[in-house]
Amino acid sequence: MELKQVIIAHKAADPLSKRRAEECARQLESLGCKVLMGPSGPKDNPYPVFLASSTQKIDLAVVLGGDGTALAAARQLSHDHIPILAVNVGGHLGFLTEPTETFQDTETIWQRLISDRYAVQQRMMLQARVLDGLDRSLKPVSATETQDPPFLALNEMCVKPATGDRIPTSTLEMEVDGEIVDQYQGDGLIVATPSGSTCYTASANGPIMHPGMEAIAVTPICPLSLSSRPIVLPAGSVVKIWPLGDRDLSTKLWTDGVLGTSIWPGQHVEVRIAQCQAQFIILQENYSYYRTLREKLHWAGARIYYNNNHRN
């Protein structure tokens, strides 16, 4: 990998993340690398400025923060096929990030990247569009990110209502590949990737899927019917969600927990596999997804150690 131009995004309002970002910037600049650095957070999105101001290929994005910071980078950079080195600095769970321990000797890490001693994990993403009844694409009515449709998500697309004074119940009709599957009453629907299956989907009792798979999980959020169950679909499926009876005009599309746009009467959301993938750099030489599950989800079995004599 060449390191001629690198993005460094640090978690907004986190002093430790900013301090490590400044240290990385100094080291990379000493190697002759041009560095674009800025904060990333709910009110800070540096990527459009970085991409617009760049006059040459961006070789790498170093993202220092938690999973939310990594998700924002994936949504913004995947279209340009920019590999992401996400490190848990100031984050919490850290499902998508490299452990802080692997990012101590950063000068050695830059040499590892230059000499191609790393792995790249590609993760499936979803894209969504808001359409009218004739399947014509619409511009977003309101958005917190400066992004035209299709909206992108690494974890999940979520269709659910939201108002400032109460929690309304929604009725959503789901169609898969042109066939109506069911009408769901409850708090909404989650359409997730395998990467997102350990996030909001897991909290809603959805299935956990290995990130090496290409599949789509649809999970109802607190359905009013006990027969409403999660379903796993092939990655090539096209999911359409129609809000029904939304008299308060409160239904919205959320991408990785970030407000995408409002959905108005007569409109629906179309979700399918994205045409791009997120590329995450893996530095751990003994990386294991199953160990990540055991440690991050605190599975009880990981705390009980029996001797497996059958292996001998």
Catalytic residues: 67
CA–CA gap between residue 106 and residue 108 (Å, rounded)? 5
215 is annotated as contributing to ligand binding: no
199 is annotated as contributing to ligand binding: yes
200 is annotated as contributing to ligand binding: yes
User: Cα–Cα–Cα angle for 90, 91, 93, nearest 5°?
Assistant: 150
Cα of 78 vs its chain's centroid, Å: 11
105 is annotated as contributing to ligand binding: no
155 is annotated as contributing to ligand binding: yes
Spatial CA neighbour of 189 closest among 238, 229, 129, 130: 229
Q: Is 241 within 8 Å of 189 (Cβ atoms)? A: yes
68 is annotated as contributing to ligand binding: yes
CA–CA gap between residue 1 and residue 4 (Å, rounded)? 9
67 is annotated as contributing to ligand binding: yes
Question: Which tokens go with 87?
Answer: 């490190």
222 is annotated as contributing to ligand binding: no
156 is annotated as contributing to ligand binding: yes
Q: Is 252 within 8 Å of 161 (Cβ atoms)? A: yes
User: Cα–Cα–Cα angle for 71, 85, 209, nearest 5°?
Assistant: 50
Residues at the annotated binding site?
A: 67-68, 155-156, 187, 198-203
* Residue positions forming the annotated binding site for NAD(+): 67-68, 155-156, 187, 198-203
